Amino acid sequence: MKRLYNLYCLCLFCTLYPWKIQAQEGISRRALEELAEPEPLQQSALFFNITEAQFPKIPEEHEPVTVEYGYVNRSDKPLTINKVTASCGCIAVNYDKLPIPAGGKGTIKVSFKPKGYSGPIYRQVLVYTPLSADRPTVRLTLTGEVIASTDAWRGYPHKLGALRTRQRTVSFGVTDRSAKLAEVIACGNSGKVPLSLSAAGLPPYLTFRTSHPVIEAGKEADLIFLFDGSKLPVEEKGTITLPVVLTGLEGVPEQRTITLVIKLD
């Protein structure tokens, strides 16, 4: 009851004095998460060598950061980790689901993906065991700081030479083999020279064009793939997967490839 009252007071404070919370974003998230989640057990059965870890300042483009939290079962009987929950979708957790024998050791690997996040970071991972059905056995925390990306094209994460795209896969769901369908990939020219793109070797039932014949440097456009079911061979069944290599870009073919998936009902 006291924790609910404290959470109510903190939320009321955030409403009345929002500028103070904005100035200390990392601290406020920590306070909110620790109040919102159930308090861990006061126990000594599952002992962790560390429960709080910190990563150095990293850029948003950095690879995921992985931290290992080692533990030992100090009880006199096997103990199983029932589940592990994370406070953010940016966290991936890997742990052994087999029973931990008395005196047995193991690790929980926690990976944080910085892309899409910036500023102070506080994330928590709650570890549950049969010691309690409602309360976590232990709380693991990960803190650090992410430097916001300066990449003007970060909304287009896929690089095909100077061309940046939102995705590298196009899917057609074909329910009528006589239908004409179109799929679009948003893109942008991150280079310093105009781009004129084409796709060679397409089957008769597929065509490709761009929304602008020439994509000027620094400009956005669309890659347009057109499907004509009337030209599809009758013997084609199931799913067709086609790698399409774009021409007009630098790089080996694998770096200039869009994958088309055609699902035939």
CATH number of the domain encompassing residue 53: 2.60.40.10
Within this chain, do residues 58 and 80 fall inside the same structural domain, yes or no? Answer: yes
What's at 92, amino acid-wise? A
Within this chain, do residues 106 and 162 fall inside the same structural domain, yes or no? Answer: no
Task: Supply the mean pLDDT for the chain.
Answer: 87
- Whole-number Å distance between alpha carbons of 242 and 237: 14
- Whole-number Å distance between alpha carbons of 88 and 66: 15
CA 9 distance to own-chain centroid? 33
Within this chain, do residues 52 and 94 fall inside the same structural domain, yes or no? Answer: yes
Within this chain, do residues 169 and 210 fall inside the same structural domain, yes or no? Answer: yes
Within this chain, do residues 178 and 94 fall inside the same structural domain, yes or no? Answer: no
Instruction: Provide the residue count of the chain.
Output: 265
Q: Is there a domain that residue 195 lies in?
A: yes
**Whether 127 contacts 136, CB under 8 Å:** yes
Q: Is there a domain that residue 59 lies in?
A: yes
Q: What is the pLDDT tens value at each position of the chain, 265 positions in all?
A: 444 444 444 444 444 444 333 334 444 555 555 555 677 787 789 999 999 999 999 999 899 999 999 999 999 999 999 999 998 899 999 999 999 999 999 999 999 999 889 999 999 999 999 999 889 999 999 999 999 888 888 889 899 999 999 999 999 999 998 899 999 999 999 999 999 999 988 999 999 999 999 999 999 999 999 999 999 998 998 999 999 999 999 999 999 999 999 999 8
Residues 6+ apart with CB under 8 A from 22: none
Q: What are the angstrom distances between the C-alpha of 91 and each of 107, 126, 141? A: 16, 12, 11
Look at residues 98, 123, 147 and tell me which one is the last residue of a structural domain: 147
Q: What are the angstrom distances between the C-alpha of 151 and each of 148, 154, 182? A: 9, 5, 30
Range of the domain at 227: 158-264
Say what the pLDDT of residue 19 is. Answer: 39
Q: Is there a domain that residue 252 lies in?
A: yes
Look at residues 147, 179, 194 and tell me which one is the last residue of a structural domain: 147
The domain total for the chain is 2
Look at residues 91, 117, 147 and tell me which one is the last residue of a structural domain: 147
Q: Is there a domain that residue 57 lies in?
A: yes
Q: Which residue's structure tokens are 């070797």?
A: 201
- Whole-number Å distance between alpha carbons of 222 and 170: 13
Say what the pLDDT of residue 126 is. Answer: 95
DSSP 174-189: ES-TT-EEEEEEEEEE
Say what the pLDDT of residue 33 is. Answer: 56
Within this chain, do residues 183 and 227 fall inside the same structural domain, yes or no? Answer: yes
Say what the pLDDT of residue 20 is. Answer: 39
Say what the pLDDT of residue 29 is. Answer: 55
Say what the pLDDT of residue 213 is. Answer: 95
Say what the pLDDT of residue 200 is. Answer: 83
Q: Is there a domain that residue 33 lies in?
A: yes
Within this chain, do residues 139 and 101 fall inside the same structural domain, yes or no? Answer: yes
Q: Which residue's structure tokens are 């774009």?
A: 246
Within this chain, do residues 171 and 257 fall inside the same structural domain, yes or no? Answer: yes
